[in-house]
Amino acid sequence: MTVRTRVAPSPTGDPHVGTAYVALFNYCFAKKHGGQFILRIEDTDQVRSTASSERMILEALRWVGLSWDEGPDVGGPHGPYRQSERAELYQEAAATLLDSGHAFRCFMTADELTEARAAHQASGATQSMISPYTDLPRAESDARAAAGDAFVIRLRTPREGTCVIQDRLRGAIEVPWDQVDQQVLLKSDGFPTYHLANVVDDHHMAITHVLRGEEWISSAPKHQLLYQAFGWQMPELVHLPLLRNPDKSKLSKRKNPTSILYYQRMGFLPEALLNYLGRMAWSMPDEREQFDLSEMLEHFDLDRISLGGPVFDVTKLEWLNGVWLRDGLTEDEYAQRVMDWAFNREFLGQIIPLVRQRANKLTDLAPLASFFLQGLIDLKPEDLQGFKGIESDDETRRILTWSLWHLEALAEWEADGIQAVLREMAEIMGVKLRVLLAPFFVALSGQRSSTPLFQTMGILGKDIVRARIRHAVDTLAPISKKEQGRWQKAYDQAVAAHVAALAAQG
Ligand code: GLU
């Protein structure tokens, strides 16, 4: 048997360090066994998936030093490697399940579903909800579908007994069947959900081992049921422990930068980041901290994975990065890294248009543009005080925080979109745009005036902007839990009122 593993990111956002972590372990396991490692794009969520996210994920994984034998960019014998290009396969698979009785059509409307869910919850039932269409005779189901009634296709699940899942790291995991829901497999628009597409693709791509985050354990019973229904061999499951914030909660961008782009922009070396991810849940037999990919590969062994929640601690990563910077590179390599990082045409090419009108000599450029090359900006509370039109520190903190929340929804991080979001935020908060933007200049550049703000934010990138804004807010006073709740509620209400007002205007 040839070992074949895969990483299957959904292109719905920035490239996440967790994706690189899972990819690294899949890569090592496949290569250790002389097998193949595949990259598959799971873009069944048509609304949230974007081409730019896919491109960034591929670039980021390559940047950390990983490569794959098959994938959307390199092709391969089991393609296409993008789920949106495989729709027919899933529809056929769903039809097979309907015919064999392992799945059924459910004709509930969205409103009916919401109501049924509420009633189910109110009833205090511990078992999963059952669709009223579970046992609809096939002829009737066919007739309704032929008449054009909208439906989804759901998985038929046993209601009695216990499902037993084998996980390579955890052994047998038992789940009562009556807690497994009748998962939607095919949506009313004919697109598959993750579960159907994932199983169908793992089978057709001859995947032998699935290494993925432990958040997917709860999906395993449904997947097992699907493999049995199709009569396919299920890959071996290896659920890797989730990365955690230092407070042990699940790694989240609210508490920690999670985008690989952030670490790239901050001047971390790809070797150091990959090395650090290799130290999440795994260790070298001699416990050495610094190692490269080939060394990890040489010693890789699933039995050395430990299940205690690995903490992704930026301070430790910084330490390891320092080791790499000091001892891991020749002088030439070092110079090359600095060029790759920021001293290159592409990056300078973005900054120069913003500063050239203000420089008489090239030496004027450095002070004008230095904040593009910095990490967090050194600020004192008084730097963020005395803005015209802003009454208090709390007002400044609220402006920055609400704006940051508002910016989170932006799909493409670029100047025009940023401007539109901040303009809207000013309207929602009832302040002049000029007033709203003043603290941004300081938070981002350390100065009261700097390069054009929206372009500047575009170049700095979402994660650096988020980190600097948070740092500015913290410089005045960190947001307390109570404040967080209160502000979130007020923000939601203000946004809703704004939307309603716009609707009323027609
Ligand atoms: N598309 C899923 C994700 O985004 C893949 C999960 C899996 O590996 O099965 O993580």
288 domain-assigned: yes
What does the mean pLDDT of the chain come to?
Answer: 96
Beta-sheet pairing, 103-106 with 152-155: antiparallel
The closest alpha carbon to 18, from 225, 230, 257, belongs to 257
Distance 9 CA to ligand 1 centre (A): 6
Helices (H) then strands (E): counts for the chain:
20, 9
What is the residue-wise DSSP string for 273-292?
Answer: HHHHHHTSS---TT--S---
Element (H, E) at 157: none
**Catalytic residue selected from 32, 253, 255, 316:** 253
- Give the model confidence (pLDDT) of 200-236 as tens digits: 999 999 999 999 999 999 999 999 999 999 999 999 9
Residue 77 vs residues 27, 61, 71: alpha-carbon distances, Å: 19, 22, 10
According to DSSP, the residues that pair with 239 across neighbouring strands are: 212
For residue 255, pLDDT over 90 is answered with no
Same domain, 296 and 207: no
Q: What is the pLDDT of residue 4?
A: 98
Last residue of a domain, one of 286, 305, 326: 326
Same domain, 93 and 230: yes
Q: What is the pLDDT of residue 254?
A: 77
Q: What is the pLDDT of residue 58?
A: 98
9 CA: nearest ligand 1 atom: 4
198 lines ligand 1 (CB under 6 A): yes
Residue 292 vs residues 21, 211, 310, 317, 320: alpha-carbon distances, Å: 14, 21, 19, 14, 12
User: Percent of the chain having pLDDT more than 90?
Assistant: 95
202 lines ligand 1 (CB under 6 A): no
For residue 142, pLDDT over 90 is answered with yes
Q: What is the pLDDT of residue 411?
A: 80
For residue 75, pLDDT over 80 is answered with yes
User: Percent of the chain having pLDDT more than 70?
Assistant: 100
8 lines ligand 1 (CB under 6 A): yes
72 lines ligand 1 (CB under 6 A): no
Q: What is the pLDDT of residue 273?
A: 98
**Residue 126: pLDDT band with limits 50, 70, 90:** confident
348 domain-assigned: no
CB 116 within 8 A of CB 108: yes
Beta-sheet pairing, 236-240 with 209-213: parallel
22 CA: nearest ligand 1 atom: 8
For ligand 1, atom 8: residue with the closest CA: 212
Distance 42 CA to ligand 1 centre (A): 7
For residue 23, pLDDT over 80 is answered with yes
Same domain, 202 and 289: no
Same domain, 181 and 292: no
9 lines ligand 1 (CB under 6 A): yes
Distance 148 CA to ligand 1 centre (A): 33
- Give the model confidence (pLDDT) of 382-424 as tens digits: 999 999 999 999 999 999 999 999 999 898 899 999 999 999 9
Q: Please, is 254 exposed, middle or buried when counting C-beta atoms within 10 Å of its C-beta (0-12, 13-18, 19+)?
A: exposed
CB 110 within 8 A of CB 119: no
- Average pLDDT (297-302) is 96
For the whole prediction, is pTM greater than 0.85?
yes
216 lines ligand 1 (CB under 6 A): yes
Find the domain containing 133 and state its range.
86-240
Q: What is the pLDDT of residue 103?
A: 98
353 domain-assigned: no
Distance 420 CA to ligand 1 centre (A): 33
Establish whether 253 is a catalytic residue. Answer: yes
